[in-house]
A and B are shown apart, each in its own frame.
Chain A
Amino acid sequence: EAEVAQSPRYKITEKSQAVAFWCDPISGHATLYWYRQILGQGPELLVQFQDESVVDDSQLPKDRFSAERLKGVDSTLKIQPAELGDSAMYLCASSARLAGEVEQFFGPGTRLTVL
């Protein structure tokens, strides 16, 4: 069964350091999403790609966060510098196309702890 892969699963870092998360979507899925899920809350969209293009990054803190999907397949989310408030689960999801009615398939997430 095809799955969304994410690495690392867990990351502990000190504030002001740089961190990067990787996501490999289900093969053939054109749309890729990065969400942040703070403990006790629902996922919040950070950035959404259609192939290699960003279609929504309105909630991405662009002074410290960046995301890329250079070849329209896998994607990297970077935080530099990390702050204490960035501690959260970072979820990657993919879907077959850019449409609100399609199912999103989620990876297991990367749990980030900033000390």
Chain B
Amino acid sequence: AQSVTQLDSQVPVFEEAPVELRCNYSSSVSVYLFWYVQYPNQGLQLLLKYLSGSTLVKGINGFEAEFNKSQTSFHLRKPSVHISDTAEYFCAVSEAGGFKTIFGAGTRLFVKA
């Protein structure tokens, strides 16, 4: 069975500063990894996903994530955040060849002016 741990429940950061949201996963098999964003009172929207190939994945809104198999991590990064990036971010994992996706507890990113 897979599990996902998001290491920070809240991350406050100033506008235009870089940010990293940390995600670790546990699985005995190959996995697919995802980051979703949720704005207040809305559903989740896919930011990026890793299926195979290059370990550096680029997504929407200037976000990128790096898959590190040895450290079982999939951290999300953005070099310069905007106020509009304030939202909840969810890391998710599914088993390669399977169909169930497990979500982490979320990290609330709060961008301050």
Contacts and interface: CB of A to CB of B under 8 A. Distances in A.
B99 A99 contact: yes
A61 interface: no
Nearest to B9: A40
Interface residues of B, number: 26
Contacts, number: 62
B43 A108 contact: yes
Nearest to B6: A42
A101 B51 contact: yes
Contact of A100 (B9, B41, B96): B96
Given A100-B32, A101-B49, A48 B100 contact: yes
A14 B32 CA distance: 41
Contact of A103 (B41, B43, B49): B49
Interface residues of A, number: 24
B90 A100 contact: no
Nearest to B104: A42
A108 B42 CA distance: 4
B94 A40 contact: no
A41 B99 CA distance: 21
13 contacts: A4-B43, A31-B99, A42-B4, A42-B103, A42-B105, A43-B44, A43-B90, A45-B101, A48-B100, A98-B99, A107-B43, A108-B41, A109-B42
Interface of B: 4, 9, 32, 36, 41-46, 49, 51, 90, 92, 94-101, 103-106
